[in-house]
Amino acid sequence: MHFNLKKTYLPLIILMVQVSHGQKQQLPEWEPGFLDIHHINTGRGDAAFMVFPDGTTLLVDAGDMSETHQRTTSSRNAKLVPNRSKTAPEWIVDYIDQFLPRKQERKLDYALITHYHDDHFGEVDSLRKIAPAGYQLTGIMEVGTLIPIKKLIDRGFDFPINLKDGKVQSQERFSKDAYGMIPTLKEYWKFIDHQSEKVGLKNEALQVGSNRQIGLQQHPTGYPGFSIQNIASNGNIWTGYDDTFYALFEDGEYHGENPLSNVIRIDYGKFNYYTGGDISGINGFGQTNLNDVESHVAPVIGAVDVATLNHHGNRDSQNPYYVRTIRPRVWIQQNWTADHPGEEVLRRMTSKKLYPGDRDIFSTIMLQGTKDVIGGRLDQYKSQEGHIVVRVYDNGNSYDIYVLDDTTEEREIKSKHGPYKAR
């Protein structure tokens, strides 16, 4: 495909001049052939809206932490943005409505839930509204009630433990769970049943090793260089060959939700993007854990252009082996608390001893507590707040990073970075 440099970049150069002179500008509309990855900041957890080159859409996670917890409303955590006139899921849908390709049916072709924690799929509480169908509106359930989802992919419910089993649900780790994972799952299952009947929603578990489960729906053969590779789920790790995988955990071996997170890599020509929920690779003593999920997925992920931080940059993540192996040009930090990132995580991410070359870091929010601890290292961030948009051009040969204002409903451009050349 011929790459028209003047056509592609001149409007962006002009746009940056306008932004630098204080004129507010909107993100240029998506066009066929663009891959857009929007990291949405609501202050209540992860959400990433994606538009594939043919217009197919995917939402990864829909975090919605409860306002009934002191941690959520304290200075330790981010505020709900842009304001409190809507819930976090309502703001996610409002964002999708703004950036959904025009003249396209209002729907999500895919939604992917990485794992069953509140900051990724929602949390029920006494303040939530009830849908007419009888389930509570939170997280992905509220998103999917407001905009139809065609296929909803999660990690399943029966491995390594059966979450629908009453005996499992009565275990102390669930019955005394302050964040109500099982009660939220029960509402999630009601939502799936109702939406399956109402709009034909299909619910599937992520198929480890597949690069066909999530694909182009509008023009399946129009962009042969585009694919999504399923890397890991439930501790099952793709071998890198065909659709085969091996298991880290045995039946009944449950170490919490984080290591069970769904992990994917998006490929578009030379461009590669990675996201993996809350997997980690540092043990309780602060040492690299070569038996943890990060260490196992790193070799099959390989070097990428853009990577989201595992576990929001928590201190148990981004171990040295993993960082050296995936070596992204751009790190994207989706966070909501002063705990993110750990200062030692930032040291590993930026270490030229682990891998050479430049790397840019963007964060959806940096709270004052984090700034106080990190101090002089803050200048290693290109942006410390805002929605972060990765826009990939020219069949995956180049990309830009836009930072959009998360304090307004208009979401104007705050800054633009690039062009970056895909490796």
**Mean per-residue pLDDT of the chain:** 94
Would you say residue 2 has pLDDT above 50? no
Tell me the Ramachandran region of residue 313: left when phi exceeds 0, alpha when psi lies from -120 to 50, beta otherwise: left
Q: Show the tokens assigned to 406.
A: 């998360």
Helix (H) or strand (E) holding 37: strand 35-39
Helices and strands (H, E) in the chain, number of each type: 12, 18
Is the separation of the CB atoms in 416 and 19 below 8 Å?
yes
Domains of the chain: 5-421 (3.60.15.10)
Q: For residue range 141-189, list pLDDT tens digits in order.
A: 999 999 999 999 999 999 999 999 999 999 999 999 999 999 999 999 9
pTM of the complete model: 0.94
Of 106, 205, 122, 210, which is closest to residue 157 (Cα–Cα)?
Answer: 205
Would you say residue 120 has pLDDT above 70? yes
Q: How far is 185 from 377, CA to CA, in rounded Å? A: 40
Q: For residue range 258-279, list pLDDT tens digits in order.
A: 999 999 999 999 999 999 999 9
358 three-state secondary structure: coil
Q: How far is 318 from 324, CA to CA, in rounded Å? A: 9
Residues comprising the chain, all counted = 423
Q: Show the tokens assigned to 61.
A: 């996670």
Helix spans in 86-229 (H): 88-99, 118-121, 139-146, 166-169, 172-175, 181-198
Q: For residue range 368-410, list pLDDT tens digits in order.
A: 999 999 988 899 999 999 999 999 999 999 999 999 999 999 9
* DSSP 8-state class, residue 32: T
pLDDT at 22: 62
Would you say residue 12 has pLDDT above 80? no
**Burial bucket for residue 33 (CB in 10 Å: 0-12, 13-18, 19+):** middle
Q: For residue range 194-213, list pLDDT tens digits in order.
A: 999 999 999 999 999 999 99
Q: For residue range 33-82, list pLDDT tens digits in order.
A: 999 999 999 999 999 999 999 999 999 999 999 999 999 999 999 999 99
Is the separation of the CB atoms in 83 and 56 below 8 Å?
no
